[in-house]
Structure 1
Amino acid sequence: MRTIRREDVELLAPAGDWDCLRAAVANGADAVFFGVEKFNARARAHNFTMAELPDIMSFLHLYGVQGFLTFNILVFEEELNDAKQLIEACVDAGVDAVIVQDLGLVKMIREISPDFPIHGSTQMTITSPEAVEFTKPFDIERVVLGRENNLKQIKQIGDQAKLPMEVFVHGALCVSYSGQCLTSEMWGGRSANRGECAQACRLPYDLMVDGEQKPMGDVTYLLSPKDLAAIEIVPELIEAGVRSFKIEGRLKTPEYVANVVSKYRKAIDRYFDGLDARPSKEEVRELQQSFSRGFTVGFLQGTNNKQLVDGTFPKSRGVFVGRIKQILRDAVICELEAPLKRGDGLVFDAGDPTKKEEGGRIYDLRRKGEKLEGEAEGGLIEIVMGRNDVELGRLHVGDRIWKTNDPALDKRLRQTFETDKPYRTFPVSVKVTGVLGETLKSWWTDVKGGHTVFVQSELPLVQAEKRPMDEQLFTEQFGRLGGTIYELAELDVQLDGALIVPMRELNGMRRMAVELMEDERQKPRAYIKREVGVYDDVPVAVTEHHAAVTAVNAPTLSQADRSSVELTALCRSLDQVKAVLATTDVNLIYADFEFIKQFPAAVEAVHAAGRKIALVTPRIHMPGETGYFNNILKLKPDAVLIRNTGAAYYFLKHRFENPDAPQPQLIGDFSLNVANHKAADLFLAAGLSKVTPSYDLNIQQMVDLLRRAETSKLEVVIHQHMPMFHTEHCVYCTFLSEGTDFTNCGRPCEEKRVSLQDRVGMSHPVRVDEGCRNTVYNAIDQSGAEYLNHFMDLGIRSFRVEFLEETPEKVTEILDLYRKAIDGQISGTQVWRSLKATNQLGVTKGTLVK
């Protein structure tokens, strides 16, 4: 077993601006991730500009820190040229890696450069060894695992996939799997896959059980997780094979970056020094002070639904101080659970964060009426707030008190990076040789940087009459490296006789050596770069066809064209399957059931009717869950709907290993996040027969994709309830059970139907899959019926209608309307109007609206 070395473990820090970048470097980060302009998952951060890339990389490399650019969003078709420019700028600037979500972008990067490093973002939803294996043909050198993977799974993935594992260890948690959240897009047109998350998970919801509201007291933030803080389990993470500790926070302050990075730096270093790596109480409090909704280890130690969500508040609270014991004329009395001092900021929490909360700064602290100097650390304390800061009449005995700000801590943290001194120093080894009448020669080796520079004097060496140069003199002169990033670590002096040059020569040599060594450090990494066009991979026939479609405004489809268009149906119950078989001519039916035990009956019924059935994989695949895929194969479906890259790898590998056995058709679903023709081509080239475009595309973006893609191999979902949140956090287990996970929850999901009611009264169904993961579906189904003709003109010959809770009668009605629209008997608008008139909830154009 190979020993883990300190240099094998990377501490990776976020940077939203230059101050954050400096704070990360000053406090011990080994690498920094940052975004530029629009192509990153933090569109609201200040971000850097493309023009700053050379300066950023020069600064980071000067200090031996790597710089990773976040490109972790989906890229739409008409953005590919801009994306290409940014990738080329990264290659030129010597960026150490780019963190990517979009597999189409991965394809483009490899077309541009075969050796430019790519990291697979957590937005790729990589949660299993099979998903890692899927990325290997594209030479992705590192993957960022899903936040839902636990320590055992992380080790298993690392051991099987033999790739460095990067894991989030601190910061905000998404309740949904990264890359699988469509809520923000659905409700506000702000896509999480585009860096514009509106944080719908932080909103209040009412829990509806079988249509009735369940009383929850002050628990209303049912989907708002606490913040991740894995600092207590740093040793376990290292021993599980985590090689990069990633801190979330490109929207956070430089003080936050300085605070969190310094704490994890200490914990990692303590581990390798053989000391207790666990943080002190004071260190934990300081972490809470910078930002905290309450801390959790998330899923790292396994699923515990009771610990993930507090439910009483959705925003940062800081440090819990205590509760109000008594309210005086000018102060409140509290039994302190954390230190306080004058100037600290407090908020008083009455249990309803939607209402205005009282808060301000501490003016004075008293104990039994006597004024306290310095910090109060425990016991009953009278807290006097600043004049006019707090309306004491609005406070209550029992209200929680939180310390939201600590100016002294902020000042101390700022001092780490607001300094003229270098943030780090590096050892330098110097060799000096000299011969009478020749120049003084020196070789300066940057030990950590791994390079050597040669510097010689301008004047020749002369015979010394009084005090010849010796090792002590060189130590003194060449050791004057204060204000630089270097410190003299080793000196080898080899002079032939008693020799001397003027002192100014030694000073000049030292300055020149520092300049040359710094230049070496700051040189950009060199990569291969090819000149390729973004659309060089689009077949000429496709381009010509779509040019003709564009030239003729909406050509009339012949009846033969229309009759060749396939309508497919995705059913979530056996009754829906039977309705499709009994009343429609739909030939391909997808079975997407909550429980796999219902699959055999669906397969038998569909095959008995002479139709085809596709079984659907879960959206998430964890280590050890390939048994689900095995069961699908045993049932011999005609097709499999692939919802994750782990499943894609498994079924493609099975096909390769069993070339003579009958194989199901493999169709990629929306969750593969195909947003451009390159992503579609990548999955088709891998072996899928069809793919489904991402739900992130609006109508214009969809049309742009269809103009460049092989539309005969695309299936468009034309009607569905949008699957918004997809989460490991089980609402059923958390709020309807005494248990903590699937092993002890009693499976209330088999007896009850839960939905989440939002602020406008819409009730969004929550469904459970075989892996106990929850999907929250939008209450309103959406239709793209108005665009049917346009999509058919562009070559789409397969449209899918997805059902959720519809009755058999409703299934028949909806499919009949879409078949008539495809056949040209009614318009898409008539479908829309009919559904709006007959559907109790109405429908919305959803993400396909312009």
Structure 2
Amino acid sequence: MNKSPELLLPVGTREMLEAAVKNGANAVYFGVPYWNARGRTEDFSMDDVRDMIKYARIHGVRTYLAMNVLVFERELQNLPEYLEKIISFEPDGFIIQDIGLARLIRAISPTQEIHASTQMTLASAEGVNLVKSIGFNRAVLSRELSAKQIAEVKKGTDLEIEVFVHGALCVSYSGQCLTSENFGGRSANRGQCAQSCRLPYSIYVDGKEYRDTNAMYLFSTHDLCALPKLEELANMGVESLKVEGRLKSPEYVAAVTRAYRKALDNSVADLNAKDLEPLEVLFSRGLTTGWLDGDNHQELVDGTFSNHHGLYLGRVAKVERSSVFVELSDKFISQFLDDGLPYPGDGILIEDNRFGVSLGSRLYSAEIVKNAHNKRGDGMRGLGPLLRLDFGRDFDTRKIAKGMDVFRNDSPALEKELRKTFTDRSQEVKTPVNMLLEGSVGDLLKLKIRIPSGSGKCVAEVQSETALEQAKNAGDIEGLARKELGGLSATAYELGHLEISIQGTPFIPGKVLRTLRQQAVQKLDEARLAWHDLKISASRGKKFLQDIRKGASAELGNLNKVPEPAEGLNISVLVRNPQQIAALRGLDIDNIIMDFDWGVKYDEPLQQIRDLGFKAGMATLRIHKPGENHYLKKILELCPDFALVRNLGALSILKDSGIPLHGDYSLNAANSASYDWLLAQGLQTLHPSWDLNSVQLFDLLDSIDGSRLELTLHQYMPAFHSEYCAFARGLTTGRRFPECGKICTQHKVEILDHKGEKHFLQSDAECRNTLFVGRPQSALKLLPQLRAAGVNSFRLEMLQEDPETVRQKVLIYTQAIRGKISIDDAIRQAGIQEKYGLSEGQLFNENTWQDRKK
């Protein structure tokens, strides 16, 4: 194994911090008060943040502050003083999603380390290298990459790479999920994910409910456990291994830290049942390696549940009064049989998802039995050892039937043992220190303490106030020194090697040794807290923002040519199948953007668009991963009139192509500082993030050139955008393409949510799925204000409409945009065209989600 990577743990409370530090974490991350992507955690105070950074640093643990949300324009303008204060606490780094925020932090403190959050949807070396110019020191990659793809990214960049190795998986690409916002007005990009992926859904195929599946929880993924891939990740040079879970318990953090620390320091083969069982018992929706071994849609999503189930024990083989006999799973037999039996008081879950039966109770006792059959024909003969679970009389075992699944999903005894790891000083992981004690009669007694594996600053020297005197009787100096100098239980250290260099027989009081030890530890702590000059200045940040508002930023100033503002109105229509193109003949539009499904060719449709007198554009995919340049090569080969860029990797590859580029909403531009940088990469126009409502949108327009902004006036809003294929999981037994039989090309699939609303499922050219909200969003009401703000580029997006419906919709909107019919008439006519009605969407939601703390 190469140099051991950093083990990075989540912190949602002070206890979680201590659990991580005392069990061997190299680094921790926790949220900046208010500004972080876990809105349901309790915010720390500023004093908390400062004290936690100091505590971690004294213990040799790095701290990263998560500020991984989008920041709106008005907020960005008010942030410099806030950032100045929190940077002054000297964190090791910030985890950032918003490009504008990253630039502001760098303006305030040029040497402050910043990490690109997984919310930035970085999945290729090209994307990582593009943001390097902002000043990022590390990139947290998308969780959808395989180990081979991570290795490819690592080879292609010199930035540090961080990957998730344990915890919850999102079914949607982080930073690209608008489900919570569309379904509940709670933006995941603002720390308010409502976990809509964990809700039940029904599948409709070609208009009829599809019942031949058990996947009610179609989008609820298993959890991630990368222990089997740990050595591979370390050997490829990944710098940081990240655990998810700021909403989990301190005991959970302790268990995960201990298991991964042991695996990194030794090997995964050294892990035993006591290391592994709490990973599932404390919280688990089933553990898999996620995408690290490539796509496996059947394994990634079980589909029958979405909540914590714990450790799977096996299936019910027999019920007898208050006892349940369990035929153990192969995994349990191989890993846990010897020392992983449930404790009395543990929680046991027994269920049958076929009939919606779920029962739970506390355990009275458990034992392995080898001869559980008691009569001929009871179906027990031939079975191996069984686990007998005994319950109290109040638990009605008559509801339990043979074949039901059994889980161990709670263990007070296990939690108690784990709690000791961060409350019992004798169990915590400490930093070894070497000490040198030297002196002689007539000289001062000196103590030098150092961390052998640390940097040059990890050394402290102290000396006694008075010279040593001659002892009347020779004593056991070594024994006394070990006792007094080794009294480090209340510190971050433990005594490693002690060297004693005492000349003669001086008298050394124990009190003097204790005083030297205390002084030396204090000086060592102070040395570890020493930090480099961050050159912090809120004023510099304010000037940076002012320059952007004046259009004088360094990035735009360095461009050879800034495109002239477009004259007049410019209307684009995005189509998702070639049959929609002919329907646009003769309509008052300017551009047609092609965004086709898997296997659809672009050359003939491109020429068809030009023959109709329109400019032809091609949309990139929303994600760019290693080995996926063929689609971008097709754009370069066909040389369309323009390209709609949807990810940073594509922007990096296309920026010098000479093809005019326009940026889409998936680039998540939410403020003038992010707009400024993205436009400086060669984009002519840029669509704002869909996290903005109308108030925030016009705040943004007050700070930018409106002619460089494009807005979609009509579209089916994307909710999930996922590497996971719900077509394959729900309708086939295929693990991946081509085992799925390209089922997505054969049927129209709709997903019914818990509110009774249907949504459209669509695949793209890389088999990724997008769930589109069934009721399209119309922004027509904003048209007069947008025009007044200088916006003249508008888009209309089609989805599955037939050609006639496409023509009718586009005609209505173009007439409204050109001023030929009133806005009210257009909205009324557009609503008639929609199968599930028309929505105003998030743009008209002016509420701020208040109930942040659960």
TM-score (norm 1): 0.90
Aligned to 1:33: 29
SS state of the match for residue 358, structure 1? strand
Runs of at least 5 residues in structure 1 that lack an aligned partner in the other structure = 371-376, 545-560, 656-662
Q: Distance in 1 between matches of 2:387 and 2:432?
A: 51
The one-letter code matched in structure 2 to 1:841 is: Y
| 1:349 is the counterpart of 2:351 | yes
Distance in 1 of aligned mates of 2:583 and 2:322: 71
Relative to structure 1, the CA distance from residue 430 to residue 344 in structure 2 (aligned partners, 3 Å threshold; closer, same or farther) is closer
2:265 aligned with 1:259: no
Alpha carbons of 1:26 and 1:429: their partners in 2 closer, same or farther (altered >3 Å)? closer
Q: Which moved more, 1:39-48 or 1:748-757?
A: 748-757
Match of 2:391 in 1: 385
Tell me, yes or no, if the aligned pair for 1:432 and 1:493 is still in contact at 8 Å. yes
**2-structure distance, mates of 1:323, 1:473:** 60
Within 2, Cα distance between the matches of 1:147 and 1:693?
25
The letter for the 2-side match of 1:758 is D
CA contact (8 A) 2:3 2:234 kept: no
Aligned residue among 796, 804, 807 for 1:801: 796
Aligned to 1:361: 362
Report how far residue 669 of structure 1 moved: 0.4
Which digits, 9 at most, give the CA deviation of each residue in 1:427-463, with x for residues without a partner? 3333445465443344333334433223121122334
Q: How does 1:182-193 map to 2 (within 5 A)?
A: 182-193=178-189
Q: 2:12 aligns with which of 12, 16, 31?
A: 16
**TM-fit CA distance, 1:810:** 2.5
Residue of structure 1 equivalent to 2:518: 511
CA distance in 1 between counterparts of 2:755 and 2:569 reads 39
Alignment correspondent of 2:529: 522
State whether residues 665 and 687 of structure 2, in contact with CA within 8 Å, keep that contact through their aligned partners in structure 1: yes
- Aligned-residue offset at 1:488: 3.7
Tell me how far 1:630 sits from its aligned partner.
1.3
Give the C-alpha shift of residue 836 in structure 1: 1.9
Question: Judging changes above 3 Å, is the alpha-carbon distance between structure 1 residues 379 and 438 closer, same or farther for their aligned structure 2 residues?
Answer: closer
- Which SS does the other structure have where 1:844 is aligned? coil
Distance in 2 between the 1:386 and 1:472 partners? Answer: 56
Distance 1:831 1:421, change over 3 A: farther
Note the alpha carbon deviations across 1:215-257, whole angstroms, 9 max, x for none: 2343311111111111122222222332211111111111111
Partner of 1:690: 685
Counterpart position of 1:566: 570
Counterpart amino acid of 2:714? H
Partner amino acid, structure 1, of 2:400: L
- Structure 1 residue 280: deviation in Å? 3.6
8 Å CA contact 1:11, 1:245 repeated in 2? yes
Residues 450-477 of structure 1, C-alpha deviation per residue, up to 9 Å, x if partnerless?
Answer: 3322312112233445438966654554
- Aligned-residue sequence identity (percent) comes to 38
* Counterpart Cα distance in 2 of 1:483 and 1:77: 47
What CA distance in whole angstroms lies between the structure 2 residues aligned with 1:360 and 1:469? Answer: 60
Q: Which amino acid aligns with 1:172?
A: A
Matched residue of 1:821: which SS? helix
Per mean C-alpha deviation after superposition, the further-off stretch among 29-38 and 278-287 is 278-287
Structure 2 unmatched ranges of 5 or more: 333-340, 374-382, 552-564, 846-854
Deviation at 1:70, TM superposition (A): 0.9
Map of 1:660 onto structure 2: none
The correspondence for 1:303, drawn from 295, 299, 304, is 295
Aligned match for 2:452, one of 443, 447, 450: 447
Tell me: CA distance 1:379–1:614, structure 2 relative to 1, closer, same or farther (3 Å): same
- TM-superposition CA deviations, 1:90-135 (whole Å, max 9, x none): 3211101111111111111111111111111111111111111111
For 1:5, the aligned partner's letter is: K
2:111 to 115, 120, 126: 115
Residues 744-802 of structure 1: per-residue CA shift (max 9 Å, x gap): 33222222222222234433221111111111111111101111111111221111111
Distance 2:257 2:504 in 1: 52
**Contact 1:459-1:501 within 8 A present in 2 as well:** no
> 2:800 is matched by which residue type in structure 1?
E
Inter-partner Cα distance in structure 2 for 1:10 and 1:623 = 24
Alpha-carbon offset, residue 422 of structure 1: 7.9
Deviation per residue, 1:236-292 (Å, 9 max, x gap): 222233221111111111111111111111111113xxxx53644554333111111
Matched, 1:608 2:608: no
User: Which residue of 671, 684, 691 corresponds with 2:666?
Assistant: 671
Secondary structure in 2 matching 1:675: coil
In structure 2, C-alpha distance between the alignment counterparts of 1:737 and 1:217, rounded to whole Å: 9
From the superposition, tell whether residues 603 and 106 of structure 1 become closer, same or farther in structure 2 (CA, over 3 Å): same
CA distance in 2, matches of 1:161, 1:517: 36
Which whole-Å CA distance do the structure 2 matches of 1:381 and 1:113 have between them? 60
SS in 2 for 1:708: coil
- The answer on 1:163 being equivalent to 2:170 is no
Q: CA deviation at 1:827?
A: 3.6
How far the C-alpha of 1:816 sits from its partner, in A, is 2.7
Q: Which whole-Å CA distance do the structure 1 matches of 2:346 and 2:485 have between them?
A: 47
SS at match of 1:695: coil
Contact 1:787 1:828 in 2 (8 A): no
Give secondary structure in 1 for the equivalent of 2:719: strand
2:362 maps to amino acid: R
Q: Does 1:405 align with 2:433?
A: no
User: Structure 2 counterpart of 1:308, which letter?
Assistant: L
Distance 2:146 2:448 in 1: 50
**Which residue of 2 is the match for residue 224 of structure 1?**
220
> Equivalents in 2 of 1:397, 1:91: separation in Å?
60
Paired residues for 1:614-633 under 5 Å: 614-633=617-636
1:64 to 2:60 alignment:
yes
Which is further off, 335-344 or 467-476?
467-476
Structure 1 pair 497–396 and aligned structure 2 pair: CA distance change class (3 A): closer
Distance 1:363 1:687 in 2: 68
Deviations 1:695-714 (A, max 9, x none): 11111111211111221111
* 1:849 CA displacement: 1.6
Query: 2: distance between equivalents of 1:333 and 1:432?
Result: 63
Indicate conservation of the 8 Å contact 1:446/1:517, yes or no: no
Q: Distance in 1 between matches of 2:684 and 2:25?
A: 45
Q: CA deviation at 1:306?
A: 1.8
* TM-score, normalising length: structure 2: 0.89
CA shift in 2, pair 1:49/1:483, >3 Å: closer
SS at match of 2:239: strand
Q: What letter is aligned with 1:425?
A: K
Distance in 1, Cα, partners of 2:415 & 2:501: 50
What is the letter of the counterpart of residue 585 of structure 1?
Answer: D
Q: 1:725 aligns to what SS in structure 2?
A: strand
Q: Which moved more, 1:781-790 or 1:443-452?
A: 443-452
Q: Is the 1:430–1:444 contact (alpha carbons within 8 Å) kept by the matching residues of 2? A: yes
Quote the offset at 1:406 in angstroms: 1.4
SS at match of 1:187: helix
Distance 1:480-1:327 versus aligned 2 partners, 3 A rule: closer
- For residue 143 of structure 1, the aligned residue among 132, 139, 150 is 139
1:67–1:810 distance in 2 versus 1, CA, 3 Å: same
- Structure 1 counterpart of 2:645, from 642, 651, 668: 642
Instruction: Please say which of residues 11-20 and 739-748 is displaced more in the overlay.
Output: 739-748
Deviation at 1:817, TM superposition (A): 2.6
1:551 alignment counterpart: none
Larger mean CA deviation between 315-324 and 219-228 belongs to 315-324
The one-letter code matched in structure 2 to 1:341 is Y
Q: What amino acid sits opposite 1:182 in the alignment?
A: L
- Which is further off, 589-598 or 286-295? 589-598
**Contact conserved, 1:152 with 1:240, CA < 8 A, in 2?**
no
The 2-side partners of 1:31 and 1:351 are apart by 40
Paired with 2:495 and 2:22, the residues of 1 have a C-alpha distance of: 21
Distance 2:433 2:84 in 1: 34
**2:240 aligned residue:** 244
2:783 aligned to which of 749, 765, 788? 788
Paired positions, count? 809
Q: Deviations over 1:137-174 (max 9, x none)?
A: 12211111111111111111101112222111111111
Aligned to 2:724: 729
Corresponding residue of 1:291: 283
